[in-house]
Amino acid sequence: MNNLSVDHLTGIKDLTREDIELIFKTADSFKEVINRPIKKVPSLRDITIANLFFENSTRTRLSFELAEKRLSADVVNFSASSSSVKKGETLIDTVNNILSMKVDMVVMRHPNPGAAKFLSERITAKVVNAGDGTHEHPTQALLDAFSIRERLGSVEGKKVVIVGDILHSRVALSNIYCLQKLGAEVMVCGPTTLIPKYIHELGVKVEHNLRSALEWCDVANMLRIQLERQEIKYFPSLREYSMQFGLNKEILDSLGKEIIVMHPGPINRGVEITSDVADSKQSIILQQVENGVAVRMAVIYLLASKIER
Ligand code: CP
């Protein structure tokens, strides 16, 4: 197979295992490209991409922009905080105005779950979801799984625990879909209040004791507490959360085995992970960021190949 089964990337749920493997194979080639002295290929010289960010971002936004530029696409950036959205313009009006400037692909981060899907059903340009509220963050899950494959040789059969604020996390949902499609076993770990009630329907294990979860896993993906999405108190204090669910060097070293530590960023050092763990040799946090560019190049390249020219 050399083409994706989808026309847009709105969620991992819509991808097949073959789609994910094709993205990884393509990303392998692009990883080689971005490590060359000349880090650019002319593949998308005739393509224009708009990055629409209605929510804050550091990694995802920079990573997409770099990926697009490494592929030689023309890039325009839009940030809601400095746009006419503030004057009451609707999402569709904003996007249609941008598209009338002959844009071929839209990469969008939006606070509303389903926003990317909504857009993909209403515009002719290709849509890539860069995070839609608490729903999905597909390219994050792809780069996470790609990083596990790189470090452990494959994802199949590996045990991955996702720790923290599962309830508000688009990273958790996309990771669950992606890892399961690739044959991994997935566990979630956190306070009862931060584990959604529907979690059992997804076929994942649930654990409320961090040590037990770490003893079970090959990989621990530590998530940030998303205070900006929490309207009520889900646990007594950050200090208490950290004491029960924070990963520190003492626990890591006492496991008697080497696990891999991941984090999608941004990190709250001293809350879900201590600095000595984040900066340890077991941490692949910065490799995840590096792989993000290659994986996003692959996604953009494969979707662009479906544009009728
Ligand atoms: N991992 C991630 O989505 O980070 P940003 O919010 O900085 O893009």
The answer, yes or no, to whether any atom of ligand 1 lies below 6 A from the CB of 58, is: yes
The C-alpha torsion from 165 through 168 and 170 to 171, rounded to 10°, is -10
Burial of residue 170 (CB within 10 Å: 0-12, 13-18, 19+) is buried
| Cis before 37 (ω within 30) | no
Burial of residue 83 (CB within 10 Å: 0-12, 13-18, 19+) is middle
Contact 155, 148 (CB under 8 A): yes
- The predicted pLDDT at position 209 comes to 98
* Strands of 205-207's sheet in order across: 205-207, 185-189, 159-163, 219-222, 260-262
Query: How far is ligand 1, taken at its centre, from the CA of residue 57, in Å?
Result: 5
Q: Give yes or no: 59 in active site.
A: yes
- The predicted pLDDT at position 274 comes to 97
Q: Give yes or no: 87 in active site.
A: yes
The answer, yes or no, to whether any atom of ligand 1 lies below 6 A from the CB of 264, is: yes
Query: How far is ligand 1, taken at its centre, from the CA of residue 151, in Å?
Result: 22
Ligand 1 atom nearest to 55, measured from its CA = 6
Which is nearest to 269 in space by CA: 234, 229, 222? 222
- The predicted pLDDT at position 226 comes to 75
pTM exceeds 0.85, yes or no: yes
d(CA 95, CA 84): 11
- The predicted pLDDT at position 234 comes to 78
The answer, yes or no, to whether any atom of ligand 1 lies below 6 A from the CB of 265, is: yes
The answer, yes or no, to whether any atom of ligand 1 lies below 6 A from the CB of 221, is: no
How many CA atoms within 13 Å lie on the side-chain side of 14? 17
Q: Which residue out of 51, 53, 59, 285 has the highest number of ligand 1 atoms within 8 Å of its CB and is therefore the one to mutate?
A: 59
- The predicted pLDDT at position 71 comes to 98
- The predicted pLDDT at position 68 comes to 98
The answer, yes or no, to whether any atom of ligand 1 lies below 6 A from the CB of 226, is: no
* Tens-level pLDDT at each residue, the chain (309 residues): 789 999 999 999 999 999 999 999 999 999 999 999 999 999 999 999 999 999 999 999 999 999 999 999 999 998 887 767 777 888 899 889 888 889 999 999 999 999 999 999 999 999 999 999 999 999 999 999 999 999 999 999 999 999 999 999 999 999 999 999 999 999 999 999 999 999 999 999 999 999 999 999 999 999 998 777 677 677 878 899 999 999 999 999 999 999 999 999 999 999 999 999 999 999 999 999 999 999 999 999 999 999 987
Q: Give yes or no: 109 in active site.
A: yes
Q: Give yes or no: 200 in active site.
A: no
Q: Give yes or no: 36 in active site.
A: no
Look at ligand 1, atom 4, and give the residue with the nearest C-alpha. Answer: 59
